[in-house]
Amino acid sequence: MLAYFRKTCGNRLTRFGWRRVTVLQKYDSATMSSLEIVLYPHPALRWKSKEVSRIDAELRVMVGQMFELMYAARGIGLAANQVGLPYRLFVINPTGDKDEKDQEFVFINPQITRRNGSETDEEGCLSLPEVFGPVTRATKIIVDAFDLDGQQFELELEDLPARVVQHEYDHVEGVMFTDRVASAELQKLQPQINDFESQFRNRQKEGLLPSDAQLMATLLELQNARTQ
Ligand SMILES: [Zn+2]
């Protein structure tokens, strides 16, 4: 067991309301059917996401799809930003094994309240496939968040789970792991990163992807639908 619950608070996120607008409901449904992992430099990866203001059936479907996408891509963590959703939430399973359900954790509106120690290890990212670089992270953290039932929890994590949570937490802040790779090491990765950049821009030029302005307008609309 890699993690344990230290305490459970009685706060329920659902009390923040169930506000819903018909237009946004349609929009949500359209979005949910088409979730996919976005690649660098999609603007969602640079979006500082806002807190989710309600947990409902649609959000649970989104989270379920995020787990499916994460397992299909052989990942151990996936942030909402990485599927083009500008929400402060991420999912992890440090084992990467979809049968190990007790290792699945959903972090909604997470906060890392304590960081201790320091360790450098190699990281990769599903939004920058095949790019790996050394990142220094805290060895131990305390994180609190809400789960899918709107229940607040606090976890003390160390080693790999702590690293995964710090990586995913960075995503909801709009930070990529490559931002934390030291410049000498980053130089070695730069050609691969540049390839992702040019592929993305070419797809936009060919009309296969919306422009950054259009993508950001969508992010803003999604943000307005589910945050304060
Ligand atoms: Zn990542």
CATH, domain range 4-222: 3.90.45.10
The residue behind tokens 């329920």 is 12
**202 CA from centroid of ligand 1 (Å):** 23
Mean pLDDT, rounded, of the chain = 88
- pTM (2 d.p.): 0.86
CA 207 to chain centre: 26
Instruction: Report the pLDDT value the prediction gives residue 23, as an integer from 0 to 100.
Output: 32
Active site residues: 168
CA of 209 to the centre of ligand 1 (A): 21
pLDDT value of position 91:
98
φ, ψ for residue 88, nearest 5 deg: -80, 80
The model's pLDDT over 203-222, given as tens digits with 9 standing for 90+, comes to 999 999 999 999 999 999 99
Residue 213 to residues 24, 35, 82, 85, Cα–Cα distance (Å) = 20, 19, 18, 16
Residues of the chain falling short of pLDDT 70: 1-33
Distance (Å) from CA 40 to ligand 1 centroid: 10
State the pLDDT at residue 15: 27
The predicted structure's pLDDT at residue 106 = 98
